[in-house]
Amino acid sequence: MKKDIHPQYRPVVFKDFSCDFAILSRSTMKTTENIEWTDGKSYPLVRLEISSGSHPFFTGKQKLLDSAGRVEKFNRKYATRPTN
């Protein structure tokens, strides 16, 4: 391998702040923040908006954020109509 062309592969903590879910993995992502992990060591921190800890597919909990009746409008438009 050529020297100085590959990104640094290191342990990184990925944390979903919406549900306080964190996982320690390895990545090449660059970060400016650090967090102390349960082993007492400090690791780079990557903030996540959604993860398996908060995604409805993995949690089984569906959250509908309806703005301006869009869900009802969709349901009215694509509702199955009874056949005569």
Instruction: Supply the pLDDT for residue 78.
Output: 85
Instruction: Supply the pLDDT for residue 60.
Output: 65
Residue 32, φ and ψ in degrees, nearest 5: -110, -10
Residue 19: closest CA among 56, 66, 44? 56
What is the full per-residue pLDDT of the chain (84 aa) written as tens digits?
Answer: 688 888 889 999 999 888 888 999 999 999 999 999 999 999 999 998 877 777 666 666 665 555 667 777 888 888 876 666
Residue 72, φ and ψ in degrees, nearest 5: -65, -40
Instruction: Supply the pLDDT for residue 64.
Output: 56
Q: What is the rounded distance in angstroms from the CA atom of residue 84 to the CA atom of residue 69?
A: 29
**Domain map of the chain by residue range?**
10-78
Instruction: Supply the pLDDT for residue 70.
Output: 75
- By the 10 Å C-beta count (0-12 exposed, 13-18 middle, 19+ buried), 62 is classed as exposed
